[in-house]
Chain A
Amino acid sequence: MDLIMDNKIKIKSNNLNVFYGQKQALFDINLEINQNEVTALIGPSGCGKSTFIRCINRMNDVIDICRMEGQIQIDDKNIYDPGVDVVQLREKVGMVFQKPNPFPKSIYENVSYGPKIHGIGESKDDLDQIVENSLKRAALWNEVKDRLEEPGTSLSGGQQQRLCIARAISVNPEIILMDEPCSALDPIATAKIEELIDELKKTFTIVIVTHSMAQAVRVSQKTGFFHMGKVIEVGTTEQIFKNPTNNMTQDYITGRFG
């Protein structure tokens, strides 16, 4: 456990409301996410936790019927301000999905693609260095260094997920969003990703959506419980799982409803 916690707020949502057509998916979400910490979002399916993290990199912009009110601030700046460049925002806020989704390209190209389109790494040498560093930080380098030209899809599920993490961190983001990153993985691959998350939080701010309470306990410092589009309780992970103040949180985490 860290002895010194940097509690600087990296992400802040203010009265965030999200609608899909007529249906309201999130209600007045006010949530603060600390820098260099892992924040876990838990709650039953359809409670709005994935909708919430998709607001942090404006992924919901691509859904026509999706409308939002309120603010999300990163470093005190509203990311929904008209002047914000969404491409730059997504460079800053990387995302890892439930199912590993490498591009149908080589391992090398999977990692070098982002830096190339964002203009990071001018020369081949620069890119080589970025690919190596990213794969090392994603704890995958030793397993793939001799087969960088092989397709990303040739890797195992756990390796593919670490490749996606390498791809996400290759553009030097500040925040990584993870939407159930281990739900398709076996326990060993899950353990490797969790170990990686612990390492990555030293550099990045991580928000993880998970259905595994045990995973939330293992990887996060702060936990938010969502239910029916509302944040029911937020607290340190230790407090939420040992002694939640809200009965609904307690009923959910102890398996009394879901």
Chain B
Amino acid sequence: MTNDTHIVKSYGEELQFLNDSIIQMGSLTESLLTDSMNAITILDKDAVDRIVQSDKKINEYRAKIDTQIMTILVKRAPMAIDLRVAISALRISQDLERIGDLAKGSAKKIVPLPEDLSQALLDSLKRLGNTVKNQLNKTLDAYIKKSKEGAIEVIKLDENVNELTYLSIKEILNFLSKDNKNLEFATNLLFVAKNLERAGDHIRRISENIYYLVEGDYYQK
């Protein structure tokens, strides 16, 4: 196992700080995703302002992490595992930011939603949302533990997200078919389902980057 301590202590501290920033950004993104799903499924309209604020914070993290990475690249010319820590942090922070954007985008769609959505439709969206949240939670856990196995598990489970998206879209189309006036609502809900699927894709990419960080090679199916 590689020694944890750099001869230059401050270098090790900078890498640790970067690692911590990713974890904090990830945990904020996880909360934002939860808030966003609650906003949609329990029509919590007050949550939208809170979500917009969280998204701003996530964007600030992204900028802060970019700066940290650039400083490390310029100051330390990192090699091997240290280079992969920096490069994967750059990619992971981009994906987390996109997940934040997608969750915010979904939450903004709730304002025109009717309050009498069918339970089946809500349940299918909840299932999809919960699966995406679990995936994000697992990938962050894999990042904290630098676990290749954890990352692979998330990559493999992405298929579930795609299947649940398909089921949600079916429910939404069913809702649309009942009454033409549902068109606008249904379109918004389609966005929500698609956003969750795309968030799932970003989570899979984060896991692929964790695999790359640990193994120094790209994940092959």
A residues near B (Cβ < 8 Å) are 213-214, 217, 241-244, 247, 249-251, 253-258
Contact = CB atoms under 8 A, between A and B. Distances in A.
A249 B3 CA distance: 11
B195 to A, nearest CB: 35
A255 B6 contact: yes
A243 B217 contact: yes
13 contacts: A213-B79, A241-B79, A243-B84, A243-B216, A247-B2, A253-B79, A254-B78, A254-B80, A254-B81, A255-B6, A255-B11, A256-B7, A258-B7
A242 B78 CA distance: 10
A243 to B, nearest CB: 3
B5 interface: yes
B66 interface: no
Nearest to A254: B82
A177 B2 CA distance: 32
Contact of A257 (B7, B77, B80, B82): B7
Give the most central of A213, A242, A247, A254: most B CB within 10 Å: A254
Given A213-B79, A242-B79, A254-B81, 8 more contacts: A214-B77, A241-B83, A242-B84, A243-B217, A255-B8, A255-B76, A256-B6, A256-B7
Nearest to A243: B216
Contact of A256 (B5, B76, B77, B216): B5
B79 A254 contact: yes
Nearest to A240: B80
B74 interface: no
Contacts of B42: none
Give the most central of A241, A244, A250: most B CB within 10 Å: A250
Contacts of B8: 255
A250 B82 CA distance: 9
B104 to A, nearest CB: 36
Interface bracket on B: 20 to 34
A244 B6 contact: no
Q: Is the interface of A mostly helix, strand, loop or mixed?
A: helix
Contacts of A247: 1-3
Interface string B1-36: 111111110010000000000000000000000000
Given A214-B77, A241-B79, A242-B83, A251 B2 contact: yes
A250 B83 CA distance: 11
A256 B4 CA distance: 8
B81 A250 contact: yes
Contacts of B80: 241-244, 249-250, 253-254
Contact of B7 (A243, A253, A255): A255
A181 B1 CA distance: 34
B79 A256 contact: no
B140 to A, nearest CB: 24
Contacts of A241: 79-80, 83
Contacts of A255: 6-8, 11, 76
Interface string B188-221: 0000000000000000000000000000110000
Nearest to A249: B80
Nearest to B4: A256
B76 to A, nearest CB: 8
Contacts of B79: 213, 217, 241-242, 253-254
Contacts of A256: 2-7
Contacts of A242: 79-80, 83-84, 216
A162 to B, nearest CB: 25
Contacts of A249: 80
- Cβ-closest 9 pairs across A and B: A243-B216, A256-B3, A253-B79, A254-B82, A251-B3, A250-B80, A241-B79, A255-B6, A250-B2
A257 B5 CA distance: 9
Contacts of B4: 256
B38 to A, nearest CB: 42
Nearest to A247: B2
